[in-house]
Chains A and B, each alone.
Chain A
Amino acid sequence: MEQILADLQLPLYRYFVRLSNDPDLSADLTQETLLRAWARQKQLRVPGAARVWAFGIATNLWRDRCRSLAKTRCDEIADDQPSREDNPFHAAVATELGDAVWNAIGTLPERQRQILHLRVVEQMEPKQIAESLELTPKLVRSNLSAARKNLRARLTEHLCQSGPEEKSS
């Protein structure tokens, strides 16, 4: 069990960074998720389902945190954080496109953001995402489709705006 949880540390941390855009809060929430998972390890009957189960705990924890911070929407927590350019945490940037995609996903509604992250980064199946987020697979698919559409629109807009500037500079 300890090894399973150790392997989940990084995916959970990235998930919380995706949701909160705050490395310190993400580290706290990851710790809390792992400790909750450790305490409730008897609930896990199928070891193969550990990832889905742990993301479910993480999502509930995130909801609780949003409620305790008296935020009507979890999006507001992410909006409170400094932008990627101002945040030293984001100093290590993989690529310009990666940065653009990351920022564009950050502007999506929370549910679309969660689903897109779990699908693309964690490569989870819609059924697994549905279990983790307590949604139906159909809703996951429709949200994912909407997220793709929004992402496309935002990135096209972003790339069209940044293209001429780059050329002129």
Chain B
Amino acid sequence: MTDSHCTRIDSYIDGFATEQQRIEVERHLKRCDACRAIVEQHREYDRALRRHAATINPPKHLAEPMALAHSGRQKVRRLFVVVAAVAASLILPVVIHFRRDQGSGRPLVDRTFQPTPKAPPSEAPIDRTKLAIASSPQINAVDSSTHVVVIDPESEDDITFVMLYPIIQSNRE
């Protein structure tokens, strides 16, 4: 048996001989007992090795990291939902406040503000039927709120109402 035989037989055993090589090796094996014994020997080695490898089992604690990683991921998800909810509840009033000030042209913080003596409380409450719409309703597509600026003809104060879109929609219907 030559080295070239060995190489071909090894390729044949491992199943990556070409079709032509496979035919040649099989033809050779029919008349060569030594090479046939080698092929059979290697197949036996491979079977023995697979059987042997099957007896190696990982320790039970090996399954834990995946479970931990998975539960950790779920925890992160839950935490994200909680943080998002808290952030939304904090940011939303600020945004609404900012938009209301922006709508009336007043700065967010009036540094020139001087406290005036308290006026006696008006006895007559605001008659809401006299309120006139000063501008058309502005529907904000970002936060689904609707700004309606109305004006009180007596005090000439403008009052901004911020309403949620579904309410306006139901009124329109």
Contact between A97 and B48, CB atoms less than 8 A apart: yes
Q: Is A120's beta carbon under 8 Å from chain B?
A: yes
**Are A101 and B45 closer than 8 Å at their CB atoms?**
yes
CA distance A115 to B133 in the complex (A): 82
In A85-128, the 8 Å CB interface with B consists of 92-95, 97-102, 105, 119-121, 125-126
Identify whether the interface residues of B are mostly helix, strand, loop, or mixed. helix
Binary contact readout B66-104 vs A (1 if CB under 8 angstroms, 0 otherwise): 100110000000000000000000000000000000000
Among B7, B62, B69, B70, the residue within 8 A (CB) of A9 is B62
The minimal Cβ–Cβ distance linking B34 to chain A, given in whole angstroms, is: 12
Contact B49 A148 (CB under 8 A): no
Q: How far is the CA of A3 from the CA of B164 in the complex (A)?
A: 46
A-side interface size class: 35 or more
Which DSSP category, helix, strand, loop or mixed, fits chain A's interface?
helix
Knowing A141-B11, A145-B10, the reply to whether A14 touches B56 (Cβ < 8 A) is yes
Of chain A, the residue at the smallest CB distance from B7 is A145
Known interface pairs A31-B65, A38-B66, A38-B69; A101-B49 also in contact (CB < 8 Å):
yes
15 A-B pairs (CB sep. < 8 Å): A9-B62, A9-B63, A26-B58, A27-B62, A35-B65, A95-B52, A97-B45, A98-B49, A101-B48, A101-B52, A120-B49, A125-B16, A141-B14, A148-B42, A151-B45
* Residues on A facing B (Cβ under 8 Å): 2, 5-6, 9-10, 13-14, 17-18, 23, 26-27, 30-31, 34-35, 38, 92-95, 97-102, 105, 119-121, 125-126, 141, 144-145, 148-149, 151-152, 155
